[in-house]
Structure 1
Amino acid sequence: MSTDQEQTTTSLTFPSDAIETALDELPPGTITDAAESYARECGTILDGHYYSSGRSPSGLAAATIYLSSLVANQPAHRGSSRTLSQDEAANYCGVSPVTVRQHYRKILDLHEESPDVNLHGKSDERESTPNAAPTNGDLP
């Protein structure tokens, strides 16, 4: 393995590193600032959770980016309001859409279980907030 490959591999040890790399590589306007913030929150949660142990950081990053686009319901860079598809998120991170499907609901569950974390960066008030992040039952 070359030095460049070793540095890339070690820099992606944590899910948050892979998420940050993926966010940096997305074309401008692909997801909103709110979706990026949500993705970073998920990365922080995944870094400290056993769920990420033994799983590909790139796969978790793809699922997180897909989930964050669902939660934020961001406008696409093409101008119309839509979310990223599982295929798009997978392609951005170099994984399969199956990997995205395997992880995104669990990441949502972990985010919901995490105290004091939500899309708006406030204390956990999702129950009473009209723009609350969706629950697992609200997603496709």
Structure 2
Amino acid sequence: MDDEVSYEPKKIIVAVVREWYKASQVDDTKSPKIQLLLAWEPPELRQFKLNVDGSRRCASSFIGAGGVIRNSLGDWVSGFHVNLCKGQIMEAEVRGLFFDLQLAIAKVIRRLTMEMDAAMIVLLVGSPPSQ
């Protein structure tokens, strides 16, 4: 009976591994893969674009971030990469944005467009403050 609770470590481990294995199987019949071709688009004339991304290694929980600022011609203006010890992916994304904004401030860049793939952070940054 699968609903029965077991207190035997071996049975618990085997059950968890089976559950993980089932969950990690990809069923190609469910949804066809769609190829998307993405390309960087420059900002408007005399503006700059900041691109930032965070990353996390699942096995070790080490996080890092990197970013770049380019002008409207696509020329590299400034950039960074940083290892951030251990943490969560949202922390890597937020800290990456922080480092990239520090670069923009140091370069006295005022007309700036930001791009990142962390939707929650984009929503938080783009939202007006609560009153």
The question of a shared fold, defined as TM-score above 0.5 by the shorter chain, is answered with: no
Higher relative helix content: 1
From the two aligned structures, give the one with the greater strand fraction.
2
- TM interval, shorter chain, is 0.3 to 0.5
> Taking structure 1 as the reference length, what is the TM-score of the superposition?
0.31
- TM-score by structure 2 length? 0.33
